[in-house]
Structure 1
Amino acid sequence: MTEFLTKSKPINRRTLIKKAGKLYLGLLATGMIIGTYSFKVERFWYHIKEVQLKVKKLPKEFKGWKIVQFSDIHLGFHYGVEELKSVVSMINNLNPDIIFFTGDLIQIGNKEPELAMPVLQELKELRGGKWAVIGNHDFITKDTIRDVLENSQFKVLENNHDFIEYNQQRLYIAGIDDVMYGEPNIGKAVEGLSEDDCVLLLAHEPDIADESSKYPISAQFSGHSHGGQVRLPIYGPIIRQILAKKYMDGLYQVGEKKMPLYVNRGIGTTKVAIRFFCRPEITVFHLS
């Protein structure tokens, strides 16, 4: 009987070692390429994200206005004022009407936040102003951070609100203290306002939205999450921040009133100085 099937030759030890060595070198090379890309390329590949934002009770005089939000610079953690200059230039080129900064100017431990002041002062004067809140990394040097921002023409909000008036109509901007380490008080921040008012809330940590949606707030803007910073296909985000686990990236509708919440991925990094499938973000909102 003719035998058509032949047995494969056994792989000897030397061949096996060669194949294992090639696989190891291939994996090593791939890891080095990904590591270099994540550290040197994607961290500075800014995504300017355009969002059409529908806001309830928006006064007609503010329809079509443009808000630019940036967040989580983390100066001092592999990110310096030279890198920040390019972000400021991009924001200026977007010609916003209003700027929101939602916290974490520095990485905790940075003792020279004043170095950011000349760069932030280059942001253009706007008809709607520049607004900010303090983040958890800012908290230890909170007074200094506040001074840096205020001397850069930002209105720093801490459980209070103010307004933009244009053609006799008002848009209210409220902000709360850092949720993680501060004493946030949403009720105090919107004290005296009603459901008839249009109120935009700045809050560093996004997961507070479940609470803020119960108040007369038209939309919330947050950061803190870094969007997960490192994302793997199918698995999703690797780095999950406290108070940014439920709402991590992008636009949400929160609570019974479907309050819009936007979570910005931030500019800098924390914990590890890499980004993967999670580019840093500057958000442009077109109000309607």
Structure 2
Amino acid sequence: MGVIVFVVFAFAVIGLIHFYLWKRLIRDTTRPGRWRRAGGVAALVLGVLVPATLVGTRMGQWWLAWPGYLWLAVMFYLIVVLVVLEIPMLVAKLWLRRGRASAPVPALVGAGGPAAEPPAPDHQPDRRLLLARGAAIFAGLTAAGVSGYGIRSALGPPQLDRVSIPLAKLPRTMDGMRIALVSDIHLGPLRGRGHTERIVNMINEMDADLVTVVGDLVDGSVEELGAAAAPLERLRSRRGTYFVTGNHEYFSGHQEWVDEVARLGLRPLRNERLEIEGLDLAGVNDIAGEEYEDGPDFPKTFDGRDPSRPVVLLAHQPVQAENAAKYGVDLQLSGHTHGGQMVPWHLLVRLEQPIVSGLGTVDGTKVYVTNGAGFWGPPVRVGAPPQVTLVELHSQ
């Protein structure tokens, strides 16, 4: 029942969004006739395209991905720009209405009086139409331009972010330990083997002590994406390569992927902890695993831990730090947020996650959140470029 309610709600929202776009971009900018009818048909088709893409790509219809997700990005920025324009548009309409109300009214002339001049034509409808068209053109050009910039950013190489993090308990012998961190690679309909190879080459150039992949590696099954993930077997590090599940693994057959990454040489950390010289490295499953009886288990992960040793936790979602802090975790490495992916979406992400991007603190535990190397949905990144991070640990 909950799924049905969510689907009905989602379809209602999509329908309302496209009705709003039709009103502002079609009805307000055209007179009755064939152009308005054609615009209505286009709005209807695009409205159906969104849910068809979201459902179809999950069912293997990947040909829907490019048109559907590109429209989703343009639609998002059309909504943002048009909503921002609502207030100035309202002011302009009130000004036009006020100008019409204050215009002089021609005097009535009796039958025996001089002939009256014909009243001036009312140009207000034309001005309102011109105003609506100007707003629509501005919104369309802005949405297309921002989306185009975002496509270039999303499909380009990830940027390298270097962050130095001091840990009070870190032994002097481990000062300068280097951890390569990558998350949210999102192999799927729009990113394949070439994407993986570029990330692997980038990480190998870091010459890191540890390599960590913190979830959302894939959006599809091993059968569909096994070849795309294969270059991961070339990852190099001095002290191992480690993996924890993200929420999208649970949408893609998580146990098969856990087995597959292990076959490729990555060590899955499934609610477990390892001792690496003077450091504890731990990993917990993602929150989404709770629906599959495979959720995070913090008591199991930290049972018997020596509190004098520093612990670095791999956890896909930053919000998991609220539990990690209760076990004295010194540093949590996370992804999931994509840095917001498309400004101003980061404002909504902030309502769910304590940290959207970069280094912060949650209840005394340091948390670093990477933007991720891929994208989900629209192949667009605005204000949050794709990222691979080199974390350097230092003793205090």
TM-score when normalising by structure 1: 0.84
Q: Name the structure 2 match of 1:39.
A: 151
1:43 deviation in Å? 4.1
More helix by share: 2
- CA shift digits 1:43-75 (9 cap, x unpaired): 425221111111131122211121110001111
CA contact (8 A) 1:158 1:175 kept: yes
More strand by share: 1
Question: Is 1:177 the counterpart of 2:177 in the alignment?
Answer: no
- How far apart, CA to CA, are the structure 2 residues paired with 1:152 and 1:187? 29
- How far apart, CA to CA, are the structure 1 residues paired with 2:247 and 2:328? 25
- How far apart, CA to CA, are the structure 2 residues paired with 1:121 and 1:41? 27
Q: Name the structure 2 match of 1:3.
A: none
Q: Secondary structure at the match of 2:152?
A: helix
- Distance change >3 Å, CA 20–CA 259, structure 1 → 2: closer
CA contact (8 A) 1:74 1:106 kept: yes
Q: Name the structure 1 match of 2:199.
A: 87
- Distance change >3 Å, CA 180–CA 143, structure 1 → 2: closer
Q: Name the structure 1 match of 2:78.
A: none
Structure 1 residues not aligned, in runs of 5+: 1-9
1:276 deviation in Å? 0.8
Q: Secondary structure at the match of 2:142?
A: helix
Read off the aligned partner of 2:377 and give its amino acid letter: K
- Distance change >3 Å, CA 241–CA 84, structure 1 → 2: farther
1:200 deviation in Å? 0.9
CA contact (8 A) 2:222 2:260 kept: no
2:372 is aligned, of 261, 266, 272, to 266
Question: Is 1:216 the counterpart of 2:328 in the alignment?
Answer: yes
- Pairwise CA RMSD of aligned residues? 2.6
- How far apart, CA to CA, are the structure 2 residues paired with 1:40 and 1:77? 17
1:15 deviation in Å? 7.9
TM-score when normalising by structure 2: 0.62
- Distance change >3 Å, CA 122–CA 278, structure 1 → 2: same
Q: Secondary structure at the match of 2:264?
A: coil
Q: Name the structure 2 match of 1:246.
A: 354
Rg (Cα) greater in structure: 2
Q: Secondary structure at the match of 1:48?
A: strand
Q: Name the structure 1 match of 2:163.
A: 51
Q: Name the structure 1 match of 2:246.
A: 135
- How far apart, CA to CA, are the structure 1 residues paired with 2:376 and 2:229? 21
Q: Secondary structure at the match of 1:188?
A: helix
Structure 2 residues not aligned, in runs of 5+: 1-120
- CA shift digits 1:85-137 (9 cap, x unpaired): 1111111112211111100111156742322343101212x212111101111
Read off the aligned partner of 2:361 and give its amino acid letter: Q
1:239 deviation in Å? 5.5
1:237 is aligned, of 346, 360, 368, to 346
Alignment of 1:95-114 (within 5 A): 95-108=207-220, 111-114=223-226
Q: Secondary structure at the match of 2:230?
A: helix
- How far apart, CA to CA, are the structure 1 residues paired with 2:326 and 2:369? 18
Q: Name the structure 2 match of 1:6.
A: none
- CA shift digits 1:255-277 (9 cap, x unpaired): 1xx21111111112223332111
- How far apart, CA to CA, are the structure 2 residues paired with 1:15 and 1:216? 65
CA contact (8 A) 1:264 1:281 kept: yes
CA contact (8 A) 1:174 1:201 kept: yes
Question: Is 1:205 the counterpart of 2:317 in the alignment?
Answer: yes
- Distance change >3 Å, CA 238–CA 84, structure 1 → 2: farther
- How far apart, CA to CA, are the structure 2 residues paired with 1:114 and 1:24? 44
1:188 deviation in Å? 0.8
CA contact (8 A) 1:76 1:110 kept: no
1:228 is aligned, of 302, 323, 340, to 340
- Distance change >3 Å, CA 21–CA 195, structure 1 → 2: same
1:138 deviation in Å? 0.6
CA contact (8 A) 2:178 2:208 kept: yes
